[in-house]
């Protein structure tokens, strides 16, 4: 059992079958966990609906946002609030379509043991992220800096300090959650990937983020999106290269002073969102 870490599973009230599936995996691994009721896109309150900056979403993402994306986004913020309301130091946040591998408990133990070298660690990935490994955390698994995009948010670990940095900066929503929470340079966080990942995504389970077909705008309406993505990937590459160099040197220059709540100046990287 991993001390100072608790698991929260994001799950819709109307998806008990998905909860049963992830429960079996967690129980088999011996990981204590708590179900977090997901924000249901079918029943958004006016306050929840107002958390979306739709013009910015259209400009940055090049398509119409779906209520399900907003529900997912707000659910992850609620998971961070649950961490801060608890006595725990770290949270393992899981979506209910995750696949958990047998190596997960050892990876979690390793991450807690080297907690000075990361703030957020992705445990699953849709894209490779072009990882640069720098620190073993479990047999066959290493902590890595990413040099390219790595979407997906079905499994990740974060510290209390990361949750404190995220919550005021994530709202309003202007991108899908997995397109924004990896912007370590924006939030002043050491955002990392465990490679190979100890969790996966079950492609056989249908997504609960329902959306209308043909949401993507035609190319001529996506010029602002291409410009945003180019700038974002340049910032990501600069952040990744700088952090990879510093991590290879033992993390000097990246360690946040005791009691600091975060900030790009503490981590050797700056950049906008």
Per DSSP, the residues of 49-96 read HTTB-HHHHHHHHSB---HHHHHHHHHHHHHHHHHHTSS-SEEEEEET
- pLDDT at position 271 over 70: no
* pTM of this structure: 0.91
The DSSP 8-state label assigned to residue 216 in this structure reads B
Q: Is the dihedral of CA 262, 263, 268, 269 positive or negative?
A: positive
Judged against a pLDDT cut of 90, whether residue 254 lies above it is answered with no
In angstroms, the CA 235 to CA 104 distance is: 31
pLDDT of residue 1: 63
Among 65-74, 145-154, 252-261, the minimum mean pLDDT is found in 252-261
**Could you tell me the sign of the dihedral formed by the alpha carbons of 167, 14, 101, 110, in that order?**
positive
At residue 219, the pLDDT reads 85
CB 212 within 8 A of CB 115: no
Angstrom distance (rounded) from CA 159 to CA 142: 18
Please tell me the distance from the alpha carbon of residue 16 to that of residue 12, in angstroms, as a whole number: 8
User: What backbone torsions phi and psi does residue 83 show, to the nearest 5 degrees?
Assistant: -60, -50
Residue 106 host element (H or E) = helix 104-113
What are residue 14's phi and psi, to 5 degrees?
Answer: -90, 15
Half-sphere exposure of 214 (CA within 13 A, CB side): 1
Residue 259: the pLDDT is: 40
Q: Can you read off the two tokens belonging to residue 27?
A: 């129980």
Domain boundaries, the chain: 5-266
Segment 46-54 shows an average pLDDT of 97
- Give the pair of three-digit tokens for residue 110: 């390793």
The pLDDT of residue 3 is 83
Enclosing H/E stretch for 155: strand 155-159
Task: Give Cα 268 to chain centroid, integer Å.
Answer: 21
What number of CA atoms fall less than 13 Å from residue 124's CA on the CB side?
A: 22
At 139 the three-state DSSP class reads coil
Residue with tokens 């945003």: 228
Does 5-266 carry CATH code 3.90.550? yes
Q: For residue 268, name the pLDDT band (cuts at 50, 70, 90).
A: low
pLDDT for 34 equals 98
Bridge partners of residue 122, in order along the sequence = 156, 193
The candidate with the shortest Cα–Cα distance to 114, out of 260, 250, 217, 269, is 250
CA distance 156 to 166: 14
């Amino acid at each position: 059992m991993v001390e100072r870490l608790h698991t929260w599973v994001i799950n819709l009230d109307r998806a008990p079958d998905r909860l049963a599936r992830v429960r079996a995996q967690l129980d088999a691994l011996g990981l204590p966990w708590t179900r977090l009721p997901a924000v249901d896109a079918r029943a958004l309150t006016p306050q929840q609906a107002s958390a979306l900056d739709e013009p910015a979403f259209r400009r940055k993402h090049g398509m119409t946002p779906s209520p399900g994306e907003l529900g997912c986004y707000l659910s992850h913020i609620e998971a961070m609030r649950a961490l801060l309301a608890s006595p725990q130091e770290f949270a393992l946040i899981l979506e209910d379509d995750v696949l958990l591998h047998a190596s997960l408990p050892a990876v979690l133990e390793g991450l807690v043991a080297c907690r000075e070298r990361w703030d957020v660690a992705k445990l699953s990935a849709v894209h490779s992220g072009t990882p640069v490994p720098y620190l073993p955390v479990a047999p066959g698994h290493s902590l890595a800096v990413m040099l390219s995009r790595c979407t997906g948010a079905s499994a990740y670990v974060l510290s209390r300090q990361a949750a404190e940095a995220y919550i005021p900066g994530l709202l309003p929503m202007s991108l899908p959650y997995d397109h924004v929470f990896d912007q370590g340079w924006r939030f002043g966080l050491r955002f990392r990937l465990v490679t190979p990942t100890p969790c996966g995504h079950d492609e056989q389970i249908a997504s609960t983020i329902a959306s209308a077909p043909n949401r993507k705008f035609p190319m001529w309406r996506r010029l602002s999106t291409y410009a945003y993505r180019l700038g974002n990937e340049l910032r990501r590459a600069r952040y990744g290269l700088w952090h990879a160099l510093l991590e290879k040197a033992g993390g000097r220059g990246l360690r946040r002073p005791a009691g600091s709540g975060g900030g790009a100046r503490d981590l050797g990287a700056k950049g906008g969102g």
